[in-house]
Chains A and B, each alone.
Chain A
Amino acid sequence: MTRPATIETAELGLDEADLSLMLTIRAFELKLLDLYGKGLLNGTTHTCLGQEYIPVAMEALLDPRDRVFSNHRGHGHYLARFRDPAGLLAEIMGREGAVCNGVGGSQHIHRDGFLSTGVQGESLPVGVGVALHLKRTDPGRLACVYIGDGTFGEGAVYEAFNIASLWRLPLLVVVENNGIAQSTPTSRHLAGSIAGRAAAFGIRHRLIETSDVAEIRRTLEPLVSRVRSHATPLVVEFVTRRLGPHSKGDDTRSAEAVRDLREQDWYERCAAADPDRFHLLDAQARAHVDAIAAEVMARPPSRWETR
């Protein structure tokens, strides 16, 4: 495939590789919903539609030897780290070549320092343990844990914050605050603020409201460097949007509310900024995911041999 030269544009704040990756994640998630709609997928899934830019922005700030913990809504995190839609789709569909042989599925993935789990808040104490290990054996590396606003209902969050701060551990907590926990808006499940909760433990907190990848990286680079150099925790809170349902077909929000969110979506903003290039890259991403889906679906079932 011939690819156009990388273009930096001030309007997008994105180079082509970043935009392509965001579009690939978008296309991947849309493909999953399409496959579910057709009855071709087993179980459930949680798409990150609207949040794709966050792991793409973060990935440039992370070292390959950092450890990354993802959650139930983790496809974007995995794809930003490994650019492996085929392995992930095979995992979700239980086909040969699945990252975890089809055992873990959408929300339990482990590969080279990346691990996702399906229970809210569970990975934070684990991330603290990994950060303790890294501080002693590999200074400068960090444990990055992605959580959501809903996760703040779990006590494990505060137990982990407390220990990470007390023991001065290199723990980077990335909060994807999409304003809704399954069907419950943040205003109905979270008293006070995430910033206030971080402050209570003496942990620095940074709010990110833009979806501009370059601006996010410029803002966070010195803060993430400090996590490494000072072995100290940091909470980065992204104000973001979940465009899709919690899992599949379970969105109780009004069409109008979702339409408002779509108007704020990075996808619309980027499309308007440079329509020709955007639509070319988008078509490429969709074609790429379509081809992968067709190929993965034709594979034999995965096999689970080493238990």
Chain B
Amino acid sequence: MRVGENLNTALAALLAREPNLYVLGEDVVDPYGGAFKITRGLSTSFPDRVLSTPISENAITGVAAGLALSGDLAIVEIMFGDFAALAFDQLLNFASKSVSMYGSRLPMRMVVRCPVGGGRGYGPTHSQALQKHFVGIPGLALYEMSPFHDNLAVFEEMFARAQPCVFFEDKVLYTRRMGAVEPPFSLTVSGGVARVFLDGSPDCVVIAPGGTAHRAMAAMRSLLVEEEIGCTLVVPSRLYPFDELDALEADVRTARHVFVVEESTAGGTWGAEVAHLLHQRHWGRLARPVTLIHSADGVVPTAAHLERAALVNETTIHSVIRETLRG
């Protein structure tokens, strides 16, 4: 099954199961079914609760917060995650704050879905990886779609938190297969963490969220074949709060080299947050500080050759890991 299809199936299952769940977004109803077709079929089955909205990201997110405040569940699709900038006030100052600013815990069950990332030539305002802009907001949890995490389970977890969540979906994943790992690599998924590994002790640990996992895996294969470098890949479902240090413990202790990959541009990254947490726990035993691998410091260009040069890809990951470990 493709990742996009898995997500669509999850949304349908949730709408069927939860009679007070709404799905809101621009152009989400049939026959269009959303810009990336993730909501296709949903409005036909649930016409009263799958609603196409005006082009009003602020209001859509506020409406979702109003529904959540009333005890309903709400999922918002932001057509391109870049436009979540227009919903930032509702997320930062209302939805996430409401969980605690009224002095006692106020459940807010809402998820804002943000298709993110480049690689499709949409240009600087339709290709960003926006995760880093939402890191560190009290009451707001961040998740990222991955080929290794069933979307229904992830949405169940997000709603169970009873706090607003942003769900980042790397657009290039929609058409990729769920859970594909080829020998000699093996896969385990435990809790919110997927682990892709080789037999024996790894030379390094690569932490890469969903959208970058396949690029990391391609680099891991070439590093193994060309350099005999063995990597363990860790794919967390939840980016923030990041508390998967226990799941990383054994691999980090063994490998002593850690890389964090993300598609974000340089500066103030999610990876810097993860590195800080790892440094606090493992400073004395790491061979060197955690290495951050991300896209260039600049806008995401439109032309294919320029975009390729700007975005983190398997070649970037391969060369950074090789140079770091081999010098």
A175 lies within 8 A of chain B by Cβ: no
Check A307–B105 contact: CB distance below 8 A.
Answer: yes
User: Which of A98, A129, A159, A167: most chain B Cβ within 10 A?
Assistant: A129
Check B54–A104 contact: CB distance below 8 A.
Answer: no
Inside 8 A of A119's CB, which chain B residues have their CB? Answer: 89, 93-94
A73 lies within 8 A of chain B by Cβ: no
Known: A110-B102, A119-B94, A128-B59. A133 touches B70 (CB 8 A): yes
A130 lies within 8 A of chain B by Cβ: yes
Give A11 to B56 CA distance when docked, in angstroms: 48
Nearest B residue to A118 via CB reads B93
Inside 8 A of A101's CB, which chain B residues have their CB? Answer: 103-104
Check A166–B69 contact: CB distance below 8 A.
Answer: no
Inside 8 A of A102's CB, which chain B residues have their CB? Answer: 103
Which of A109, A132, A134, A137 sits near B63, CB closer than 8 Å?
Answer: A132
Inside 8 A of B48's CB, which chain A residues have their CB? Answer: 136
Nearest A residue to B65 via CB reads A126
Which of A104, A129, A155, A307 sits near B69, CB closer than 8 Å?
Answer: A129
A306 lies within 8 A of chain B by Cβ: yes
Inside 8 A of A115's CB, which chain B residues have their CB? Answer: 69, 102
Check A99–B103 contact: CB distance below 8 A.
Answer: yes
Give A119 to B100 CA distance when docked, in angstroms: 16
Interface residues as binary, A156-181 with B (CB distance below 8 Å gives 1, 0 otherwise): 10011011001100000000000000
A275–chain B nearest beta-carbon distance, Å: 42
Known: A133-B72, A159-B59, A163-B59. A127 touches B102 (CB 8 A): no
Check B58–A132 contact: CB distance below 8 A.
Answer: no
Check B93–A163 contact: CB distance below 8 A.
Answer: no
- In A100-137, the 8 Å CB interface with B consists of 100-104, 108-110, 115, 117-119, 122-134, 136-137
Inside 8 A of A159's CB, which chain B residues have their CB? Answer: 54, 56, 58-59, 62
Which of B62, B93, B97, B103 sits near A125, CB closer than 8 Å?
Answer: B62
Check B63–A163 contact: CB distance below 8 A.
Answer: yes
Nearest A residue to B56 via CB reads A159
Give A162 to B55 CA distance when docked, in angstroms: 10
Inside 8 A of B71's CB, which chain A residues have their CB? Answer: 133
Check B104–A306 contact: CB distance below 8 A.
Answer: yes
Inside 8 A of B61's CB, which chain A residues have their CB? Answer: 125
User: Which of A102, A133, A137: most chain B Cβ within 10 A?
Assistant: A133
Known: A125-B62, A128-B59, A162-B54. A307 touches B90 (CB 8 A): no
Inside 8 A of A156's CB, which chain B residues have their CB? Answer: 58-59, 62, 89
B241–chain A nearest beta-carbon distance, Å: 14
Give A102 to B100 CA distance when docked, in angstroms: 11
Inside 8 A of B102's CB, which chain A residues have their CB? Answer: 100, 103-104, 108-110, 115
User: Which of A125, A143, A163: most chain B Cβ within 10 A?
Assistant: A125
Interface residues as binary, A38-61 with B (CB distance below 8 Å gives 1, 0 otherwise): 000000000000000000000000
Nearest A residue to B59 via CB reads A159
Check A122–B62 contact: CB distance below 8 A.
Answer: yes
Inside 8 A of A124's CB, which chain B residues have their CB? Answer: 59, 62
B66 lies within 8 A of chain A by Cβ: yes
B53 lies within 8 A of chain A by Cβ: yes
B106 lies within 8 A of chain A by Cβ: yes
Check A304–B103 contact: CB distance below 8 A.
Answer: yes
Give A131 to B69 CA distance when docked, in angstroms: 11
Known: A122-B90, A159-B59, A162-B56. A98 touches B65 (CB 8 A): no
Inside 8 A of B53's CB, which chain A residues have their CB? Answer: 163
B101 lies within 8 A of chain A by Cβ: yes
Nearest B residue to A163 via CB reads B59
Which of B51, B94, B100, B104 sits near A126, CB closer than 8 Å?
Answer: B94
B67 lies within 8 A of chain A by Cβ: yes
Known: A122-B93, A136-B48. A104 touches B103 (CB 8 A): yes
Inside 8 A of A163's CB, which chain B residues have their CB? Answer: 53-54, 56, 59, 63
Nearest A residue to B97 via CB reads A108
B139–chain A nearest beta-carbon distance, Å: 10
User: Which of B60, B70, B89, B98: most chain A Cβ within 10 A?
Assistant: B70
A17–chain B nearest beta-carbon distance, Å: 29
Inside 8 A of A122's CB, which chain B residues have their CB? Answer: 62, 89-90, 93-94
Nearest A residue to B22 via CB reads A132
Check B94–A133 contact: CB distance below 8 A.
Answer: no
Inside 8 A of A302's CB, which chain B residues have their CB? Answer: 103
Which of A98, A100, A125 sits near B59, CB closer than 8 Å?
Answer: A125
Give A83 to B65 CA distance when docked, in angstroms: 28
Give A123 to B100 CA distance when docked, in angstroms: 17
Check B93–A117 contact: CB distance below 8 A.
Answer: yes
Interface residues as binary, A81-110 with B (CB distance below 8 Å gives 1, 0 otherwise): 000000000000000001111111000111
Enumerate 30 A-B pairs (CB-CB under 8 Å) in ascending A order. A67-B70, A100-B102, A100-B103, A101-B104, A103-B100, A103-B103, A104-B102, A118-B93, A119-B94, A122-B62, A125-B61, A125-B90, A126-B69, A126-B90, A126-B94, A128-B59, A128-B62, A129-B62, A129-B65, A129-B66, A129-B68, A132-B63, A133-B72, A134-B70, A156-B62, A156-B89, A159-B59, A160-B59, A163-B59, A302-B103
Q: 17 other contacts beyond A124-B62, A129-B74, with CB at 8 A cut-off?
A: A101-B103, A101-B104, A103-B102, A104-B101, A117-B93, A122-B90, A123-B94, A125-B56, A125-B62, A125-B66, A125-B90, A133-B66, A156-B59, A159-B59, A163-B54, A163-B63, A306-B105
Query: Residues of A with Cβ closer than 8 Å to B?
Result: 67, 98-104, 108-110, 115, 117-119, 122-134, 136-137, 143, 155-156, 159-160, 162-163, 166-167, 302, 304, 306-307
User: Nearest 9 pairs between A and B by C-beta?
Assistant: A129-B66, A125-B62, A101-B103, A159-B59, A100-B103, A110-B102, A129-B63, A159-B56, A133-B70
